[in-house]
Amino acid sequence: MADHFYTTDPNGELAMNAGYWLEGVACQVFPNQMTNTASFYRWFNPNTGDHFYTTDPGGELAPASGYIQEGISCYVYLGQQQSTTAFYRWYNPNTSDHFYTTDPNGELAPSSGYRYEGIACYVYPQMQQNSIPLYRWLNTNSGDHFYTTDPGGEAAPTSGYVLEGIACYVLLNQNAHLKEFYRWFNPGSGDHFYTLDPKGELASTSGYVFEGVACYVYDDPEPNTVSLFRWFQPNTGDHFYTTDPGGELAPSSGYVLEGIACNVFANPTSNTVPFFRWWNPGGCQQKITVHFKSLLPITNAIRDFWINQFSAMGQLYMGGGVSVRLGTIEDLSNNMALQPLRNLNVGTCPLGTATTPNQTSLFANRNNAGSNDIVVFLVTSLVNSIVPPTNLVGCATSPAGQPGCAVVQTNAAWLVAHEVGHVLGLTHVCQPPGIPCSATSSDSLMFPSTSWTNPPPDLSSSEYTTMLNSKLSDNC
Amino acid sequence: MKTFQEVRNLLSTIEADEYTYSQITSEDIPNLQKLLKDSEAWMSARAIFALSRLKNQEAHALIEHATRDKRIEVRVAIAVASPLLPQAVAEKALSMLLRDEDLGVKQWAINSIPENPSENLKTQLQAISQYDGNEYIKKISREKLSIIK
């Protein structure tokens, strides 16, 4: 079987157990229909001149208090979301004015006769993708605060209002256009098929089984979205999805363009999550499990580093039938006891189990890792303090029974593949130091330098055999 | 004379050893200076270890200047490499790095203080052992003080 599999799960659901390797992020999609958003209704009391805003479609007490609904002013969040802040509501019974602010202290409200009424909703304090400013106007005669997304202020400028500035940023729309992107699976061909059609197009009559909603996407183009193209390989039965209008390698690999599957974001935007792409070329013989633990805070850059390293390793290893399963990803940066190990002393880093006290302490951290699982630790520096000292980029020396390695962040795409290769029993080519390398040594993954030539690097059949025979690998 | 890329490739070994460094000479200092600005911090740190092996004042000046590098990896490398530097250069670098705000840099600077340090370094170490805000740093400072002469 050959199959491309897409999921919002960073761990790939069960993909890694089934011989898939991570190819990267296909695009950005929505994990849900943003059900936590709500309309922010505007009400107006012609007797007091007060504008009142609420997410309650019934308007709370407004209808019974002489207010008239003026429609939806914008869209907001009902609960706290990433990058949002509370939009606090205050009320001044003397001027009958409702006042809204992101300032937890209410700006001047407490000292101006306002009383706190609670959190109206959640909004963005800063501009985000798909957000627009909510402007605040003040009527200096009536004391009414008026909020609108209209940069011109609607009728405010001609009604005695003065612009006070941007109160916050709100949602332009409720993403009402988001649609379910359904996933189907064909147990016969192993193909995963994704479609907007609730009936699955021809899937249900072609041996596919419905698996549920993969994510939420746009049917039609929206601002800043790109098309997700669908390709099909008639020989293998694989469906392939990409935002590349050229189809990446699909056209030269026998795939036929089927059209635009949906519209998505190419880059992360507010509320989107990565839609990861996995590839299974078939042929898994043995599998290994690799966990990633970072002593540094896991930033987007570190997550990208790991995804790239894991993906490169998966592709290379699978060429010899070794499937790499992603175990867990753990951020150990808050563990104060481990901070002195961020610049890890690995000594001369001999192959085997002769570890330094630093390594012994570090490799003991095997949360969620089975005894045969390999743990890759990311640290700031790897140093050998024995004179003459040096630094290292990776080191695969670990205590007996605690297989793993330590690496630093690098652009060298196959560093983790190289170090895990050591863990699985591989040794350097053209070693010991000083022995001349052959002209093609630098093509090998086990070349003792990150300056590989003719990438991706090579693994010989005997090296694959060593990996397949490692006691750390299991049958697929 | 090696090109910049040749020097970079030479120092790209995953586990650099003396054979690696033996191929670097004072002629390579301009390229090592360029490597100190490399986008990869470990590569700049590797340049520090290469420079520290050169008995050359220009190399030492570059190391001294790099004590102000923003990247922890580079400052840690200077601390770890200091035993290879002439005493005066090492003392000056360590004195600077003992004032570093990063735990790792300070940790490795303390670790690299020689058994016969200058009075200045010894005084700094004593102050750290008493007043540093980090208990781990105070602990290793006290341990270091107990073994220096």
Interface ipTM: 0.96
Task: List domains and CATH numbers for chain A.
Answer: 3-30+176-280 (no CATH), 37-171 (no CATH), 286-468 (3.40.390.10)
Facing residue for B103 by CB, picked from A340, A349, A411: A340
User: Which is more confident, A10 or A113?
Assistant: A113
Residue A159 has pLDDT above 70, yes or no: yes
For chain B, percent of residues with pLDDT exceeding 70: 99
Q: Which residues pair with A408 in a beta bridge?
A: A379
Residue A324 has pLDDT above 90, yes or no: no
Facing residue for A451 by CB, picked from B12, B40, B41: B12
For residue B21, what is the nearest residue in chain A, using CA coordinates? A390
Ranked by mean pLDDT, the top range of A49-63, A199-213, B61-75 is: B61-75
What is the rounded average pLDDT of the residues A381-386? 96
B6-17: pLDDT as tens digits = 999 999 999 999
For chain A, percent of residues with pLDDT exceeding 70: 96
How many beta-carbon pairs under 8 angstroms link A with B?
99
CA dihedral A435, A441, A442, A445 (to 10 degrees): -110
Q: What's the confidence (pLDDT) of residue A223?
A: 76
B92-111: pLDDT as tens digits = 999 999 999 999 999 999 99
Facing residue for B14 by CB, picked from A339, A394, A434: A394
**CA-to-CA separations, B3 to B10, B24, B28, B31, in angstroms, rounded:** 11, 12, 9, 8
Q: Three-state SS for A51?
A: strand
Q: What's the confidence (pLDDT) of residue A2?
A: 78
Residue A17 has pLDDT above 70, yes or no: no
Q: How far apart are the C-alpha atoms of A221 and A450, rounded to whole Å?
A: 43
What is the rounded average pLDDT of the residues A377-395? 96
Shortest Cα distance, chain A CAs vs residue B22, angstroms: 10
- Dihedral sign for Cα atoms in the order A252, A258, A260, A266: negative
Q: Three-state SS for B111?
A: helix
- Of A338, A391, A423, which to mutate for an interface test with B (greatest number of B Cβ within 10 Å)? A391
Q: What's the confidence (pLDDT) of residue A190?
A: 83
Q: Using pLDDT thresholds of 50, 70 and 90, give the confidence band for residue A174.
A: low
Average pLDDT, chain A: 90
What stretch of H or E contains A382?
Answer: strand A381-384
Residue A271 has pLDDT above 80, yes or no: no
For chain B, percent of residues with pLDDT exceeding 90: 97
DSSP 8-state secondary structure symbol assigned to residue A72: E
Q: What's the confidence (pLDDT) of residue A92?
A: 96
A415-442: pLDDT as tens digits = 999 999 999 999 999 877 667 788 899 9
Which tokens go with B135? 């208990």
Which tokens go with B146? 């107990």
Q: Three-state SS for B101?
A: coil
- The number of beta carbons lying within 10 Å of the beta carbon of residue A430 is 17
Minimum mean pLDDT among A19-28, A421-430, B124-133: which range?
Answer: A19-28
Which tokens go with B101? 């705000």
> Cβ A381–B77 below 8 Å, yes or no?
yes
Shortest Cα distance, chain B CAs vs residue A340, angstroms: 6
Q: Does a cis peptide bond (omega within 30 degrees of 0) precede residue A151?
A: no
Q: Which residues pair with B13 in a beta bridge?
A: A449
Shortest Cα distance, chain B CAs vs residue A242, angstroms: 31
HEC per residue, A30-60: ECCCCCCEEEEEEEEECCCCEEEEECCCCCC
Q: What's the confidence (pLDDT) of residue B124?
A: 97
Q: Number of C-alpha atoms within 13 angstroms, CB side, residue B13?
A: 23
Q: How far apart are the first and last CA of chain B?
A: 44
Q: How far apart are the C-alpha atoms of A196 and A181, rounded to whole Å?
A: 5
The residue assigned the tokens 């080191």 is: A395
> Cβ B18–A451 below 8 Å, yes or no?
no
Q: What's the confidence (pLDDT) of residue A31?
A: 79
Q: Number of C-alpha atoms within 13 angstroms, CB side, residue A106?
A: 19
Using a cut of 0.80, tell me whether the model's pTM lies above it.
no
Q: How far apart are the first and last CA of chain A?
A: 14
b/e map A53-73, b = 16+ CB within 10 Å = bbbeeebeebeeeebeeeeeb
Q: How far apart are the C-alpha atoms of A417 and A395, rounded to whole Å?
A: 12
- Phi/psi for A327 (5° steps) reads -80, -100
User: Which is more confident, A174 or A388?
Assistant: A388
- Phi/psi for A26 (5° steps) reads -75, -40
What is the rounded average pLDDT of the residues B130-143? 96
Q: What's the confidence (pLDDT) of residue A12?
A: 76
